[in-house]
Amino acid sequence: MPPDVNHWDATAVTVQKRCIIFLVSFNSAEFPMPNQRRNASPPNTVNRTVRKYLTAREIEKLMDYARKHSRYGHRDATMILVTYRHGLRASEVCDLQWHQVELDHGRMHVRRAKNGTPSVHPIRGDEIRSLRKLRRESPNEAYVFVTERGGPMSTIGFHHLIQRLGKAARMPFLLHPHMLRHACGYKLANDGHDTRALQHYLGHKNIQHTVRYTELSPDRFRDFWRN
Q: Which one of the listed residues 74, 164, 178, 200 is annotated catalytic?
A: 178
Angle between the 73-86 and 125-137 helix axes, to the nearest 10 degrees? Answer: 140
Q: Which one of the listed residues 51, 69, 114, 133 is annotated catalytic?
A: 114
Q: Which one of the listed residues 86, 182, 187, 204 is annotated catalytic?
A: 204
**Quick check: is 167 catalytic?**
no
Asked whether 32 and 38 are in contact (CB, 8 A), the reply is: yes
Q: Which one of the listed residues 181, 182, 187, 201 is annotated catalytic?
A: 181
Count of alpha carbons within 13 angstroms of residue 97, beta-carbon side:
7
Beta-carbon count within 10 A of 74 CB: 14
Q: Which one of the listed residues 75, 85, 89, 187 is annotated catalytic?
A: 89
Q: Which one of the listed residues 72, 84, 201, 213 is annotated catalytic?
A: 213
**Quick check: is 53 catalytic?**
no
**Quick check: is 222 catalytic?**
no
With a CB cutoff of 8 Å and minimum separation 6, the contacts of 209 are 199, 202
**Quick check: is 114 catalytic?**
yes
**Quick check: is 181 catalytic?**
yes
Beta-carbon count within 10 A of 80 CB: 25
Angle between the 195-202 and 208-215 helix axes, to the nearest 10 degrees? Answer: 120
Helix (H, G, I), strand (E, B) or coil at 143: strand
* Residue numbers annotated as active site: 89, 114, 178, 181, 204, 213
